[in-house]
């Protein structure tokens, strides 16, 4: 398989992030030949190997977004950006989290890539809700602002070392503490639900 053919095949996907399997299917070659061709392109800095089986190609937009790789990290599991990462994207905290934090119904795990580190935290299947596409059209799913805050308290109640000290929170007028209490009320575990509601009530405005 020539480097020209694999590169042409990748460009047919019309996106910057792709998998080895996708490239192989587009090029009509074997997986081993595709991997070899992609490794050659990576050495020439035409593509970047983000993590095992996942690659990036600059489509003319400059550096890759960390968030664009999320759907490819756990392809068999649905995940959404939440916790401090979502609070930052919603403008509630200014501090940029060092790693991207995601909610998943799978096992808690850490995935390190060339684009950054991703922490997947387990959420009860009955509480895996309250998210949508970023700005309605994005490449990744993100928790609503209220749900992201409750997810933080939920994780903190389960793992005491998580979020022992919160960054400064700045809530906009559109943030609804009533909605946040509603999300807290949907936590299946009674003990966790009580702990989260207590943490929410301790915030200025949390009783509204």
SS (H, E, C) the chain: CCHHHHHHHHHHCCCCEEEHHHHHHHHCCCHHHHHHHHHHHHHCCCEEEEECCEEEECCCCCCCCHHHHHHHHCCCCCEEECHHHHHHHCCCCCCCCCCEEEEECCCCEEEEECCEEEEEEECCHHHCCCEEEHHHCCCCEEECHHHHHHHHHHHHHHCCCCCCCCCCCCCCCCCCHHHHHHHHCCCCCHHHHHHHHHHHHCCCCCCC
pLDDT at 60 over 80: no
In which band, very low, low, confident or very high, does the pLDDT at 59 lie, cut at 50, 70 and 90?
low
Q: Do residue 83 and residue 9 come from a single domain?
A: no
Q: Do residue 73 and residue 51 come from a single domain?
A: no
Q: What is the rounded average pLDDT for all residues in the chain?
A: 88
Q: Do residue 121 and residue 182 come from a single domain?
A: yes
Distances from the Cα of 45 to the Cα of 16, 38, 57, 165, 171, angstroms: 14, 10, 9, 41, 43
Q: What is the pLDDT of residues 154-183, one digit of tens each?
A: 998 887 667 667 788 999 889 999 999 999
Mean pLDDT within 129-145: 87
In which band, very low, low, confident or very high, does the pLDDT at 190 lie, cut at 50, 70 and 90?
very high
Look at residue 171 and tell me if it is in a domain.
yes
Look at residue 179 and tell me if it is in a domain.
yes
Q: Do residue 25 and residue 73 come from a single domain?
A: no
Look at residue 144 and tell me if it is in a domain.
yes
User: Domain count of the chain?
Assistant: 2
Q: Do residue 15 and residue 100 come from a single domain?
A: no
Mean pLDDT within 42-54: 92
Q: Do residue 88 and residue 189 come from a single domain?
A: yes
Mean pLDDT within 118-147: 90
Q: Do residue 192 and residue 97 come from a single domain?
A: yes
Taking the model in full, what pTM does it have? 0.86
Q: Do residue 74 and residue 50 come from a single domain?
A: no
Q: Do residue 124 and residue 33 come from a single domain?
A: no
Q: Do residue 75 and residue 128 come from a single domain?
A: yes
Look at residue 7 and tell me if it is in a domain.
yes
Tell me how long the chain is.
208
Answer whether 124's CB lies under 8 Å from 135's CB: no
Range of the domain at 25: 3-57
The CATH number given to whatever domain includes residue 37 is: 1.10.10
Q: What is the pLDDT of residues 1-45, one digit of tens each?
A: 555 588 888 888 888 899 999 999 888 888 999 999 999 999 998
């Amino acid at each position: 398989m020539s480097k020209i053919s694999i590169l042409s095949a990748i460009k047919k996907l019309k996106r910057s992030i792709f998998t080895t399997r996708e490239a192989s299917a587009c090029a009509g070659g074997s997986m081993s030949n595709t991997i070899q061709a992609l490794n050659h392109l990576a050495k020439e800095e035409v593509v970047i190997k983000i993590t095992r089986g996942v690659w990036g190609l600059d489509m003319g937009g400059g550096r890759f977004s960390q968030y664009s790789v999320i759907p490819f990290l756990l392809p068999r599991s649905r995940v959404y950006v939440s916790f401090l990462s979502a609070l930052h994207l919603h403008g509630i905290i200014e501090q940029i989290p060092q790693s991207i934090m995601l909610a998943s119904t799978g096992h808690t795990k850490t995935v390190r890539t060339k684009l950054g580190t991703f922490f997947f935290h387990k959420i009860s299947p009955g509480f895996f809700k309250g998210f949508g596409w970023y700005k309605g059209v994005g490449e990744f799913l993100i928790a609503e602002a209220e749900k992201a805050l409750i997810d933080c308290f939920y994780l903190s109640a389960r793992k005491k070392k998580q979020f022992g000290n919160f960054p400064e929170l700045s809530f906009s007028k559109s943030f609804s503490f009533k909605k946040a209490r509603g999300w807290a009320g949907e936590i299946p575990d009674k003990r966790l639900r009580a702990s989260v509601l207590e943490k929410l009530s301790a915030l200025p405005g949390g009783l509204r």
